[in-house]
Amino acid sequence: MRNFRFFVAFVTMVALMSCTNIKKQVLPEFEPYHFVASDGETYNVEITYQRIANMWDREVFAKIEWQNYSNSFEDYDAECDDDGFIRMDLDAMAQRIVAEYADYVASDDVSRCSYTMDQTAFFLRDNTILCYETLVESYAGGAHGVQTLWYECFDLESGSLYDFRYLFDGECGDAVKALIYNRLCDEYTLFVEDAAALPMSSSATLTESGVVFIYQPYEVAPYSEGIISVEISDEELSEVGAPLLWVL
């Protein structure tokens, strides 16, 4: 696997190519990384990660790949090189996860454990936005496993990651929370008493016409409700005064 430090050597060349590539609307091309490890009895690890195969075609692609790699494996301490860059070594990272889950069984705390990461990638808004969907399901003992679903949405012009936390701030945030809360109450049984007590969603993603807000099990509802979500349209957000940073 290439060390991310290799990116520095290509910055100048990629910068010279970027204007031409933008005009041609060069898009990321994906080469899924699949990994499976199991001893057949006590542990099972499966990983599907969406690697950008042409990340050196544009500087912005390398930036996105680096961010997605870091976010996808943030719970695992990756090794850094002498310059402080994390090595993007998927095989090594997968083996670290295997070792962790094999250790759960070796400690005699559980008889069987598992970890599955399934990542997909898709484009939105006339191919101006790249989004990743990552579902992680794991079990390491207890009454049930753990499921988390998160999204990352990147602007393909700048490589910037959209941060939707501002939608929960100030007067605008109060109105947005009321929209989300009322919509959730129509579909789910919540243990949150009112819109004012609704926490910020743990994840969010753009759609072609709005934003989907994601809450993991136990965040606002019982485990039996699973991962819950609600979509609020661009028009609804605009009506309550929320700036739509993704609309040009």
Q: List pLDDT tens digits, range 152-200.
A: 999 999 999 999 999 999 889 999 999 999 999 999 999 999 999 999 9
Q: What is the largest CA-CA distance in the chain?
A: 58
132-151 mean pLDDT: 91
Number of DSSP helices (H) and strands (E) in the chain, helices first: 5, 8
Any idea of the CA torsion for 242, 67, 158, 201, to the nearest 10 degrees?
A: -10
Burial zone of 67 (CB within 10 Å; 0-12 exposed, 13-18 middle, 19+ buried)? middle
pLDDT at 1 over 90: no
User: What is the 3-class SS of 177-217, one letter each residue?
Assistant: HHHHHHHHHHHCCCCCCCHHHCCCCCEEEECCCEEEEEECC
Residues written for the chain: 248
107-115 mean pLDDT: 80
27-32 mean pLDDT: 97
Q: List pLDDT tens digits, range 231-247.
A: 999 999 999 999 999 98
- How are strands ordered across the β-sheet holding 30-38? 30-38, 43-52, 113-124, 129-139, 146-155
Q: Which of 80-84, 170-174, 212-216, 242-246 has the lowest mean pLDDT?
A: 80-84
Average pLDDT of the chain to the nearest whole number: 86
Q: How confident is the model at residue 39 (pLDDT cuts 50, 70, 90)?
A: confident
- Name residues whose C-beta falls within 8 Å of residue 225's C-beta, 6 or more positions apart in sequence: 188, 189, 217
**b/e for 27-64, b at 16 or more Cβ within 10 A?**
bbebeebebebeeeebbbbbbbbbbbeebbbbbbbbbb
- Predicted model pTM: 0.84
pLDDT value for 207: 97
Q: Which of 15-19, 67-71, 198-202 has the lowest mean pLDDT?
A: 15-19
pLDDT value for 13: 38
pLDDT value for 10: 35
